[in-house]
Amino acid sequence: MLFRVFAKDQLINLYDILAVNHIVGPVSKGVDRHGAPLYDFDFIYDFAELQLDYTATIHSLKRFVLPPRETLCTFDLQTDSWQKHVDFNADKPIVYFGLHACDINALNKLDKVLLGNVFPDPYYAAKRKNMFIIGVGCMPQPFCFCKSMGTDSVLHGFDLFLTDLGDSYFVEIHSARAFTFMSSMECREPRHSEHQRFLEVTQERMNRFTCHVDTTDLTKILDLEFQADVWQEWGKKCLSCGTCANVCPTCYCYGIEENVDLSLQHATKTKHLYSCNLIDFAQVAGGHNFRPESHDRLKYRYYHKHRGFVEAFEESLCVGCGRCGQSCLANITVPEVIRSVRGEGGDHA
Amino acid sequence: MTAKEHTYLGVPVKKPKVAFFEFTSCEGCQLQLLNNEATLVDFLSLLTIVNFREAMSEQSNDYEIAFVEGSITRDDEAEQLKQIRDRAQTLVALGSCACFGGVNQLKNRFNDLAWVKKQVYGSHPIETREAMPLSAIVPVDLEIYGCPIKKEEVERVVTNLVLGKSIDYPKYPVCMECKANHNVCLFDLGQPCLGPITRAGCDAWCPTNRLGCWGCRGPAEKPNVRQLRQIMHEHGFSDEQMLDRLECFGGFGQYVSELKRASKE
């Protein structure tokens, strides 16, 4: 990896160099009812919109790589045959400007499932291969537990990673194309004092984590506590609304729907992201529902994230971004659920 | 409205004879059907429409599918509905009035319906009784929810009816579609919303336009109304505010009485 440093006022130059492409980054979405700022990822058309010092976005980056609704193909129906048209829906490269480590790690995890198996998902791949990613260091929020999930720093899956040193950015360069862009920027190699400053900033960030999840032996504990009463308690609270899965950067479950249009001459195959908390998630042909109870569905969401995925890939599918807990109207949060399953924390639900 | 024979992948498709009727309602749902001009011709050519007061003057009693809008508020409406039921193979309740009683059923909340009648109509002689959904009078085969209905949903239902495909509605609540539209949760913006317990299918029409859901499509399957009540309280909304919404379209009947009971405790 190569390192560079550039003055903060140079950031706009980096933006301008990249602005020949579409740019997606954190933008302001107003304030909540307590006056706290809200952020989300969106297309950016002006450097001034880019909010690099954002706290956290409401939704993950998923809408750009795994859209909630996506047309997989369309059909022209003829008398005795049909013609299928496939579009991977990735017509342009997109620069993602200002992703936190958790969200880059989330993409790396999605890659394992969607690119790393026998049948890679071409729709995801087309978008994923058309990304230029600029990461940015963050300050942990009270709900962030990425440190517990080992996703507080990121080692690959980005082109550039910026760390704020006060008056300058410390830059990690992780790709040849990123190096090319940096060559046209006013920047230099970091001095020894800046190495020190980088480590200080990193340490300061580490000290700021307040939210933790004990993942020790978690796969075993989840198996041991499969019948635990706490699941029932969380199930009573769960709205089965799918919000957690929608805001989650790594939930990828989906359903497929085929519709014939009114003229009976065309048809569309559409993919819808689904959530394992929705009531008919485990309903099969013939009508049997394997998980009619809300607590079962909620439990299996945790089992997939913290047990099944770990057994398959030796890492959790959760990146600790805390979005699910923040968005859950019923206040169901990962740290609280795991704590209760471990038999800690007493009065939780 | 006779057109060339329709085929689907070369197989002839029968054009069902369809009639539209309205009882106590604003007729807005039928108007929705005529709204989408881009697909209107295709929509009409899928069906042989024999009765549609808003769109044509001919009338016939020979139909297979009846779309019925509105709630039942008079005895003669009930009688007419029974006749429609006898004639139609498939009876479709169109919109929240037909499915749940709709806004009309708000009057059922008053104990003294004679007083209500007097307040609204004065001394004008008019027959009206408590507002009822179609299913209170006759068996209903299919319900299309919404106030108003979503044209795209009706188009899908009609296409599937014609092709003999199964007709499914979302069982999950509006939140799912609201999040798919990348909205900020209205509770975070200080508004009450029935999205977490209301059946989806509207594409979160109101919340996407920053109006909290009023539950016009009725309850999602197994809605967690108890938890939503707690959420309402945590966000500073009273049982009364929640009841206002739950009662508005009539879809939450059983949950309304439960909440009223809990509220008194």
pLDDT at A153 over 50: yes
Three-class SS of residue A316? coil
Q: Hey, are the CB atoms on B222 and A329 less than 8 Å from each other?
A: no
Nearest 10 degrees: Cα torsion A228, A233, A234, A237: 170
Q: Looking at this protein, which amino acid is placed at residue B100?
A: F
pLDDT on residue A276 = 96
Residue A243 banded pLDDT, cuts 50, 70, 90? very high
Of A240, A262, A327, the CB nearest to B185: A327
pLDDT at A91 over 80: yes
Q: How far is B158 from chain A (nearest CA, A)?
A: 8
A55-70 as b/e: b if 16+ CB within 10 A: bbbbbbbbbbbbbbeb
In this structure, the strands spanning A94-99 and A254-260 are unpaired
Q: Hey, are the CB atoms on A79 and B156 less than 8 Å from each other?
A: no
Q: Which residues of B touch A82 (CB under 8 A)?
A: 9
pLDDT on residue A348 = 47
- Percentage of chain A modeled with pLDDT above 70: 99
DSSP letter assigned to residue B134: G
CA angle centred on A92, ends A87 and A98, rounded to 5°: 125
Structure tokens at A113: 């499932």
pLDDT on residue A216 = 95
* H/E segment holding residue A243: helix A243-247
Tell me the CA distances in angstroms from B234 to B187, B190, B212, B258, one per residue in order. Answer: 10, 11, 16, 19
- Predicted TM-score (pTM) of this structure: 0.94
Q: Hey, are the CB atoms on A242 and B7 less than 8 Å from each other?
A: no
Task: Count Cβ atoms below 10 Å from residue A188 Cβ, excluding itself.
Answer: 12
Q: CA B59 to CA B110: how far, in whole Å?
A: 38
Beta strands in chain A (DSSP E): 2-7, 22-31, 37-44, 69-77, 82-86, 94-99, 131-136, 160-164, 168-173, 254-260, 266-273
For residues A287-308, average pLDDT: 96
Domains (ranges, CATH) in chain B? Answer: 6-163 (3.40.50.700), 175-264 (no CATH)
* Total count of residues recorded for chain B: 265
Q: CA A62 to CA A207: how far, in whole Å?
A: 29
Model confidence over A182-194: pLDDT tens digits?
Answer: 999 999 999 999 9
Q: CA A224 to CA A330: how far, in whole Å?
A: 26
Nearest to B174 by CA among B138, B145, B140, B133: B145
Nearest to A102 by CA among A341, A326, A275, A304: A326
Q: Which residue in the block uniquely carries the two structure tokens 């770990």?
A: A310
- Give pLDDT tens digits along chain B (265 positions): 344 678 898 899 999 999 999 999 999 999 998 887 888 889 888 999 998 877 777 788 899 999 999 999 999 999 999 999 999 999 999 999 999 999 999 999 898 988 999 998 999 988 989 999 999 999 999 999 999 999 889 999 999 999 988 898 999 999 999 999 999 999 999 999 999 999 999 999 999 999 999 999 999 999 999 999 999 999 999 999 999 999 999 999 999 999 999 998 8
Model confidence over A207-231: pLDDT tens digits?
Answer: 999 999 999 999 999 999 999 999 9
Model confidence over A34-58: pLDDT tens digits?
Answer: 999 999 999 999 999 999 999 999 9
- Percentage of chain A modeled with pLDDT above 90: 97
Model confidence over A101-119: pLDDT tens digits?
Answer: 999 999 999 999 999 989 9
Q: How far is B110 from chain A (nearest CA, A)?
A: 31
Pure H helices in B23-112 = 28-35, 37-46, 75-87, 96-100
Q: CA A346 to CA A296: how far, in whole Å?
A: 21
Q: How far is A333 from chain B (nearest CA, A)?
A: 15
Q: Which residues of B lie inside 8 Å of A (Cβ-Cβ)?
A: 6-10, 13, 39, 42-43, 46, 155-156, 158-159, 162-163, 165, 171-173, 175-176, 179-180, 182, 184-185, 187-190, 195-197, 220-222, 224, 226-228, 230-231, 235
Q: Hey, are the CB atoms on A80 and B155 less than 8 Å from each other?
A: no
Of B6, B172, B195, the CB nearest to A279: B172
Q: CA B70 to CA A184: how far, in whole Å?
A: 68
The β-bridge partners of B19 are B51, B66
Q: CA B9 to CA A96: how far, in whole Å?
A: 44
Task: Count Cβ atoms below 10 Å from residue B114 Cβ, excluding itself.
Answer: 8
Q: Which residues of B touch A58 (CB under 8 A)?
A: 184-185
Task: Count Cβ atoms below 10 Å from residue B196 Cβ, excluding itself.
Answer: 26
Of A69, A236, A280, the CB nearest to B171: A280
DSSP letter assigned to residue B184: P
Phi, psi for B55 (deg, rounded to 5): -120, -20
Instruction: Work out the end-to-end distance of chain B between its first and last CA atoms, rounded to an integer number of angstroms.
Output: 59
Phi, psi for B25 (deg, rounded to 5): -170, 175
Nearest 10 degrees: Cα torsion B145, B148, B153, B155: 120
ipTM computed for the complex: 0.93
Any B CB within 8 A of A240 CB: yes
The β-bridge partners of A136 are A162
Q: Which residues of A touch B7 (CB under 8 A)?
A: 79, 264
Q: Hey, are the CB atoms on A242 and B172 less than 8 Å from each other?
A: yes
